Amino acid sequence: MADPQAPFVYTEGQLQCILVDGDVDRRIGFLIEGLFAVRRTQFRGHPPVRPELDLVEQDDQFTHQIEIPLEDSHADQLDPETHLDVFKPSATFVQDEAAYEDLKRSMLGDDGEVIEEDEPNDDDDDDSEDMEVIKDETEINLINLRRTIYLTIMSSAGAEEAGHKLLSIMRPGQEAELCGMLVECCKQERASSNTRFYGHLGQRLCGISRAYQAGFEACFARCYAAAHRMGTDELRAADAVPWRSVLGGVRIAEEDTTSSSRIFMKVMFQEMAEQLGVRLLGRRMNDDDEPEVRDALFPRDSAENTRFAVNFFTAVGLGGVTEPARKILSL
């Protein structure tokens, strides 16, 4: 009888059926596709043994096998050593530890001891002193990564295909660079259909891993701080990351904004209203369950700051989202 507490293991065919049926959450579907991408790359980046733990050479490893079959008559002569199942303090613990350290040093060597097979050569020392350390500052690896990301995006017919390809070539630690590349590519696009492509692609990546969410949050903070160096045609927006983490450094008040940052927020919320609708956007902006977002967009520390935020959103054509703030001013 199967153990009821044992984890249920899905086969590859069952996972494919789950994706085809579409009966799971979209985030779960992204995770399953990510597993398929890792399998297609032969689990690169996921070694079976960590390099720091692979201390014994393959030729020096010994595999212990019991050659007596269990159904043999001599099988009952095997000692299961059941006394090891119960902990008992050892009277020779110190001696055993010393013997173990000696055995370890004989097999692995001493960390503080330098083992040299050949005699040192004075000429080699002189040559090593004359050698200069060459440091590559051309960032050729970073350039090749950006080129690969760009060509992968340009060769994809849709956001789903692009996300599938990018997940198969990305390595851990490269998420921030991919997010930055997507933002730069989106800034250069002019057609609205192409900008929606990058929005859907970013939303797909954020649904797979929180590392991509952190990367896009850092991109937003960097773009908002450099809004004075950006043109209005370079601003894009999409609803893919939590608002409270993105709007942590934003405050719609006269002393906390500049003309460039106000244009930045204007374009962003106008595109969000186009995607979500004014009614849903108003609920998201005034949600009492997320006071960080509400207080960042409609500061309530003073009536002057609240009035400034109301006038700002009214001036950009989003007066419908200011109704809760107007009620507070009328009290």
Q: What is the pLDDT of residues 157-183, one digit of tens each?
A: 888 888 888 888 888 888 888 888 888
Q: What's the pTM value of the predicted model, to 2 decimals? A: 0.48
Q: In the prediction, which pLDDT does 73 show? A: 58
Q: Give the residue, 310 or 196, on which the prediction is more confident.
A: 310
- Structural domain includes residue 34: no
- Structural domain includes residue 310: yes
Residue 190 has pLDDT above 80, yes or no: no
Judged by average pLDDT, the poorest of 15-24, 106-115, 246-255, 268-277 is 106-115
Q: In the prediction, which pLDDT does 115 show? A: 46
- The one-letter code for the residue type at 211 is A
Backbone angles phi, psi at 140, to 5 degrees: -65, -35
Do residues 175 and 209 touch, judged by C-beta distance below 8 A?
yes
- Structural domain includes residue 264: yes
State the residue range of the domain holding 296: 242-331
Encoded tokens for 210: 């929180």
- Structural domain includes residue 79: no
Q: Which of 211, 207, 206, 166 is nearest to 27 (CA)?
A: 207
Q: What is the pLDDT of residues 299-319, one digit of tens each?
A: 888 889 889 999 999 998 988
Three-class DSSP category at 222: helix
- The one-letter code for the residue type at 313 is F
Backbone angles phi, psi at 128, to 5 degrees: -70, -35
Q: Which residues contact 279 (CB under 8 A, 6 or more apart)?
A: 320
Encoded tokens for 165: 């390809």
Total domains, the chain: 1
Q: In the prediction, which pLDDT does 112 show? A: 44
- Structural domain includes residue 314: yes
Do residues 274 and 237 touch, judged by C-beta distance below 8 A?
no
- Structural domain includes residue 158: no
Q: What is the pLDDT of residues 107-160, one digit of tens each?
A: 877 654 544 445 555 555 555 555 566 666 667 888 888 888 888 888 888 888
> How far is Cα 212 from Cα 241, in angstroms, rounded to an integer?
9
H helix runs in the chain, sequence order: 12-21, 26-40, 93-108, 122-130, 140-154, 159-169, 175-188, 192-208, 210-225, 243-246, 259-276, 278-285, 291-297, 303-315, 323-330
- Structural domain includes residue 143: no
Do residues 285 and 304 touch, judged by C-beta distance below 8 A?
no
- Structural domain includes residue 114: no
Start-to-end C-alpha separation, the chain: 68
